[in-house]
Amino acid sequence: MKKGLQTGNVRVGNLSIGGDSPVVIQSMTNTDTLDTEATAAQCRRLFDAGCEMVRITAPGMKEARNLENIKNRLVQQGYTGPLVADVHFLPEAALFTAGLVEKVRINPGNYCDRRTGKTDFTAAERLAERNRIRERIHPLLERCKENGTALRIGVNQGSISERMTALYGNTPEALVESAMEFIGICRSFDFHQMVISIKSSRVQTMDKAVRMLSGRMQEEDAAYPLHLGVTEAGNGEDARLMSAIGIGSLLADGIGNTIRVSLTESPENEIPAAKAILRAVEHLQALPEKERDCSCLRLEGKEISEQQKVNAAVHLGRLMLQGKKDGFEIKGEQKEAECKILLDNIMQAAGIKFHKTRFIACPSCGRTKYDIQKALAQVKARFPDYPNLTIAVMGCIVNGPGEMADADFGYIGCGNGKVNLYRKGNLAKAAVPEAQALAELEKLIAGL
Ligand code: SF4
């Protein structure tokens, strides 16, 4: 792959992210973090598949402490790839894991900001909040410095702080300002070992925000490595096409240093999907400029291979994100209908034309207390043909409601065989037995 935009270099254990380093592939476990054997086994499978860095959720202190057992187990078995602790709300867990693993991920909107329902902030209130964040994050930065631990600042559209939303709305600007505020605070403490991500389940938002952030960082001479991913992409071909467009378009333009393809499937499946995107970017970059910007693709062979689909998504999706709306064509020896379906699916994934229901689903993690993969398959099978609707299937009631806030309907398993159903971000039916959840969701969609 061609060399990307120059960024600083961040060391994460035995890996280097940014600078002249190749793009790093990462993933996240979805086992219970308290289950040492299952989590270590999944980490091993991920590393064996070519994953270079594995993230593990640490929602509380018990899980944070168990990362030590998981790490020790892996080292005993000869696996020394870096681990990342995913901490959302608990500064104590972040502090603890910063002395243990190679990188800690925090989400500014969850880690430091209080949710009060406020929609208006005076300048004095904004300053007070910023000072509170500085105080709260300072010990973590010091702990990271002492231990050579890297930090990922992971901003998600579903969890932007109320302060940022009040100023910028739920926009790419709010995502960028949220990231820039944190970068500024870290820099003011002379902390630079950070990787930044901005994620959204909407490819267009993610693309726009990451490009804006990359530009802002270059302008301010603060070019930290970027982690790319489309969040809540779901499963199957649709998720792979969305990720290919979101991640591939940026990489093709030299933006991005580490990637994760989030799938509501076994995490091990994320690695070949990520490798396919890297191959597709190399393929696109090798084309002469005129061909690269051509919106008509010709596919060789009698069947459309998975790699050809990803290549087509990166190639055409990038043009769609640049603003081109029509004139797209996919042709080849394959049946015309198959080429048309692929093009329709790429347009849907790029968010420029919808021909079927838009599903979003988180990849799940140690917080998930039900079989989300089965639930997603059932929801997709039952409600396939609502091009004007977005239906979310999420893994937990802690982060799920916020992360799916722009969905029309939501389905979240809460454990003990119960499901919460949401309409326009609000809880509509609580603790529905799983066996009745699809029928209840159907009633909600029908407006009954
Ligand atoms: S929304 Fe999904 S991925 Fe995010 S914390 Fe909850 S279960 Fe984990």
Measured from the CB, is residue 396 less than 6 Å from ligand 1? yes
The reported pLDDT for the residue numbered 24 is 98
The reported pLDDT for the residue numbered 3 is 61
Q: Which atom belonging to ligand 1 lies closest to the Cα atom of 368?
A: 7
What's the pLDDT tens digit per position in 369-422? 999 999 999 999 999 999 999 999 999 998 899 889 889 999 999 999 999 999
Rg (CA), the chain: 21
Distance in angstroms (rounded) separating the CA atoms of residues 43 and 40: 5
- Residue 370 DSSP code: S
Taking residue 3's Cβ as centre, other Cβ atoms within 10 Å add up to 7
Measured from the CB, is residue 345 less than 6 Å from ligand 1? no
Give nearest CA residue, ligand 1 atom 1.
400
The reported pLDDT for the residue numbered 305 is 95
157 in Cβ contact with 232 (< 8 Å): no
User: Which helix H or strand E contains 83, and what residues bound it?
Assistant: strand 83-87
Task: Name every residue whose Cβ is closer than 8 Å to that of residue 208 and which is 6 or more positions away in sequence.
Answer: 172
The reported pLDDT for the residue numbered 89 is 78
Best substitution site from 365, 397, 398, 404 to test ligand 1's pocket, by max atoms within 8 Å of Cβ? 365
347 in Cβ contact with 356 (< 8 Å): no
139 in Cβ contact with 111 (< 8 Å): no
- Residue 104 DSSP code: E
DSSP characters for 379-395?
Answer: HHHHS---TT-EEEEES
Best substitution site from 28, 105, 367, 393 to test ligand 1's pocket, by max atoms within 8 Å of Cβ? 367
- We find that the CATH architecture of domain 358-446 is 2-Layer Sandwich (3.30)
Taking residue 355's Cβ as centre, other Cβ atoms within 10 Å add up to 11
The phi and psi torsions of 235 (rounded to 5 degrees) equal -135, 175
Q: What angle do CA 270, 274, 275 make, to 5 degrees?
A: 120
Same fold, 9-278 and 358-446: no
**CA 299 to centroid of ligand 1, rounded, Å:** 37
The segments of the chain whose pLDDT lies below 70 read 1-3, 112-115
**CA 232 to centroid of ligand 1, rounded, Å:** 9
The reported pLDDT for the residue numbered 122 is 87
Q: Residue 409: beta bridge partners?
A: 391, 423
Q: Which atom belonging to ligand 1 lies closest to the Cα atom of 365?
A: 8
Q: Which atom belonging to ligand 1 lies closest to the Cα atom of 363?
A: 3
Domain chopping of the chain, boundaries: 9-278, 289-350, 358-446
Q: Which atom belonging to ligand 1 lies closest to the Cα atom of 28?
A: 3
The reported pLDDT for the residue numbered 67 is 98
Region 9-278: CATH code: 3.20.20.20
Give nearest CA residue, ligand 1 atom 3.
364
Q: Is 51 helix (H, G, I), strand (E, B) or coil?
A: coil
